[in-house]
Amino acid sequence: MPSIKEKDPGRIGPIPIRLLSGPRKASLCLEGTILIYREESWSRRMTLEIPIELLQSSESRKLMGIRLIRSLLLLLASILIPVLVVVGIPVLGPYLGVPICIGLLGLFLHQLVRFFQREDALEFAIPDQRVSIEFWNVGDGKEKFQDLFKQVLTRRETVQKPLERVDQETIGGTPFNPGLYFVNGLFLFSIPALILEEPLLFGLCLIPILRDSSRMVKYYRMDPLFRMAYQAIRRDDPQRAVELLEKLLSESPGHIDARKFLFGGYLSTEEFQKASDLLSSISNDLDSATLQAAQEDLILAMRIAERKKI
């Protein structure tokens, strides 16, 4: 089966990466002179297109913290099993519990020793914009990472017209789900009451209720199509968001928020003429600073699209 790289010599990846911290699902892809970083968490997906001349790259050796966590969990399990046997809980008999306990202690020591073995890590960073992508350079993907690393350094020398920034802050803004935000807040503010076993401390849960109730009401009063488009943007599915917003505007042409988000959708799907026409149609509804920022976003998106084809 031919690889993506064989189909397009200018493209490397996407290569799955293990971040030092952050979402478990992430990848890097090099298209032309643009490094594309994608990550996926339980609540959202994100794509970041980075001109490689802005990157500072480095290699280092670091301790892998997950190994220490595994070793501590194994130690806890090896302590818990004898306790269960002593108190008479019929989970494990002594003849089965002893070898399992010894095995868990052996795994604990193995993970603890591995924790003190430093592993290779790579980092791509943009200090001026507080962007840092740090990941482990281990396992089967090590050669791919090294190839990507070398290509970034090589292609950076070919850039003739550097770009000044990476982020594309569209006029629609970054959507979020107030429901998830509310649930997270409710959980965090209930922890003191659960730990201290003090029912009165559950009164702290009023803080997220008072803070987020108005935003939740506003969110769930949105037009259903707009709310679906809102979530499509969070899932990093701009094509679906564009379809939903265009359908909404065919029914409600005066929906200004939908037009703003549609502008960002057109930038993500590289429909730049539509984005330009849409921006012209809503220019009277934007203040001068916002309009200028949107125009800069359009120019930046067009230059990034060109650079991906190099």
Q: Which residue has the higher pLDDT, 167 or 255?
A: 255
User: Residue 179: what pLDDT?
Assistant: 63
What would the DSSP string read from start to end of the chain? ---HHHH-TTEEEEEEE-BSSS-SEEEEEEETTEEEEEEE-SS-EEEEEEEGGG-EEEEEEE--HHHHHHHHHHHHHHHHHHHHHHTT-TTS-HHHHHHHHHHHHHHHHHHHHHHTS-EEEEEEEEGGGTEEEEEE--GGGHHHHHHHHHHHHHHHTT-SS--S------TT-----HHHHHHHHHHHHHHHHHHHT-GGGGGGGHHHHHHHHHHHHHHHTS-HHHHHHHHHHHTT-HHHHHHHHHHHHHH-TT-HHHHHHHHHHHHHTT-HHHHHHHHHHHGGGS-HHHHHHHHHHHHHHHHHHHHHT-
User: Residue 130: what pLDDT?
Assistant: 77
Confidence of residue 4 (pLDDT cuts 50, 70, 90): very low
Is pLDDT above 70 for 228? Answer: yes
Confidence of residue 243 (pLDDT cuts 50, 70, 90): very high
Mean pLDDT, rounded, for 228-253: 88
Is pLDDT above 60 for 171? Answer: no
User: Residue 178: what pLDDT?
Assistant: 63
Confidence of residue 5 (pLDDT cuts 50, 70, 90): very low
Is pLDDT above 60 for 221? Answer: yes
User: Residue 273: what pLDDT?
Assistant: 93
User: Residue 180: what pLDDT?
Assistant: 66
Share the mean pLDDT of the chain. 80
User: Residue 242: what pLDDT?
Assistant: 92
Is pLDDT above 80 for 258? Answer: yes
- As a whole-number percent, the residues of the chain with pLDDT over 70 amount to 85
pTM for the full predicted model: 0.71
Q: Name residues whose C-beta falls within 8 Å of residue 236's C-beta, 6 or more positions apart in sequence.
A: 38, 40, 44, 45, 46, 47
Is pLDDT above 60 for 155? Answer: yes
User: Residue 19: what pLDDT?
Assistant: 87
